[in-house]
Structure 1
Amino acid sequence: MTKESLAFPILETERLILRKITPDDANSILSYLSDEEVMKYYGLEPFNTINDALDEISWYQSIHTNSTGIRWGITLKEKGIVIGSCGFHNINPQHFRTEIGFELSKEQWRKGIAVEAVEAILSYGFEYMNFQRIEALIEPPNIPSQKLVEKLGFIREGLLRNYEFTCGKFDDLYMYSLLKQDFDNI
């Protein structure tokens, strides 16, 4: 793997800068990932310590280094503080597909920030990462995330029963997908 392939892209939207998350962001990460409502569908227990946040940041760095994913910190242009994250994981280059994930600090909910951030990474994923298919796996009770991906053109394909074991229980997940040609037509 070349040094260039590990360069971290910075994405800019009208209100946001999506950037690499570093250990300096651990307090921000801890702040919103310790919130039970934010973590309700995240697949992990709410964070309790700065080490929990540092472990999460380490995971973000490892998926990028191993080319299995990329996770951007969501920041408001005027503040620069990480208020959430979004990105791709489980990248499958052979099949030109990946999964998307995102979360946002509760104080930023219902302001259109998540839609703006996710739209930016979808565009980057299709244009620069050469994805044909981007998937979103969402728990059935997580209506806000379902509405978000549907607003961006994702199609619900079906229910994956007992697909994940997280936080001591099996979770059903809806499988959503967005194809490059569908995104191009939005």
Structure 2
Amino acid sequence: MLLPHLPGFTVRPVRLDDAADWARYACLPEVKEFTSSTATTVDDVLAVIQRTLAGEATSPIHFALVPQGGDTLVATVGFHTISALNGTAEITYDVAPAHWGRGIATAACRAATLWAFEVKGWHRVQATTVLPHLRSQRVLERCGFRREGLVRHFRLVRGVPTDYWLYSAIPGDVRPAD
């Protein structure tokens, strides 16, 4: 399987032994604040990885981002809500707070979206953000995603129906980094 290319990082499929590193930051309140994630423990993250490793056509896909020369996962990027029938998926990404503001989310989003079009042959990648998640909206817009509109009460966020912005990219919208 060809993998997304991200300069400065080793990009590989997530593994069961990534659960502790991923949970170390993914369960933090500041990371979960603008997501619908319900993960609070390593076991919750392990369950996500196990679904990823199921290998079914609609199983989520998650890639681990490890700085070259390092061994600790500092970010993930991938896809969920995959429709093999329609050739579509929703992108997801997260970055450890110690690495925020370095362009990692933008680079990962761009690389994974291009991978989705080139390797998977999908013709649409969508993304959603809760309305106040301006940083994620900027990531998507820098990558070439277009805001399509408001999706009311799209997901439960800690038990509360929450509105989301819907973004999408189709082949040609996302260009490789300069």
* Cα drift, residue 181 of structure 1: 2.4
Residue deviations 1:91-120 (CA, integer Å, cap 9, x gap): 222222111111111011000111111111
> What aligned pairs does 1:35-184 form with structure 2 within 5 A after superposition?
35-47=28-40, 49-62=41-54, 65-68=55-58, 69-183=60-174
Please give the secondary structure, in 2, of the residue aligned with 1:13.
coil
* Cα drift, residue 59 of structure 1: 2.5
Q: Distance in 2 between matches of 1:97 and 1:134?
A: 6
* Cα drift, residue 157 of structure 1: 0.6
Structure 2: gaps (5+ residues): none
- In structure 2, relative to structure 1, the CA distance for the partners of 1:185 and 1:31 (3 Å cut) is closer
Q: Distance in 1 between matches of 2:144 and 2:50?
A: 32
- Equivalent residues of 2:110, 2:175 under 8 A apart: no
Q: Aligned Cα RMSD in Å?
A: 1.8
Please give the secondary structure, in 1, of the residue aligned with 2:79.
strand
Aligned residue type for 1:66: E
TM (norm. structure 2) is 0.90
- Equivalent residues of 2:111, 2:176 under 8 A apart: no
Moved beyond 6 Å, runs of 4+: none
Query: Which structure has more helix as a fraction of its residues?
Result: 1
* Cα drift, residue 9 of structure 1: 4.2
Q: Which residue of 2 aligns with 1:34?
A: 27
* Cα drift, residue 50 of structure 1: 2.7
* Cα drift, residue 185 of structure 1: 8.9
- Equivalent residues of 1:97, 1:131 under 8 A apart: yes
Aligned residue type for 2:29: E
Structure 1: gaps (5+ residues): 1-7
- In structure 2, relative to structure 1, the CA distance for the partners of 1:182 and 1:10 (3 Å cut) is closer
Q: Which residue of 1 aligns with 2:6?
A: 13
- In structure 2, relative to structure 1, the CA distance for the partners of 1:46 and 1:54 (3 Å cut) is closer
Count the aligned residue pairs: 176
Residue deviations 1:30-80 (CA, integer Å, cap 9, x gap): 210121011112312352x33223222212223xx1121311111111213
Q: Distance in 2 between matches of 1:93 and 1:111?
A: 33
TM (norm. structure 1) is 0.87
* Cα drift, residue 29 of structure 1: 1.3
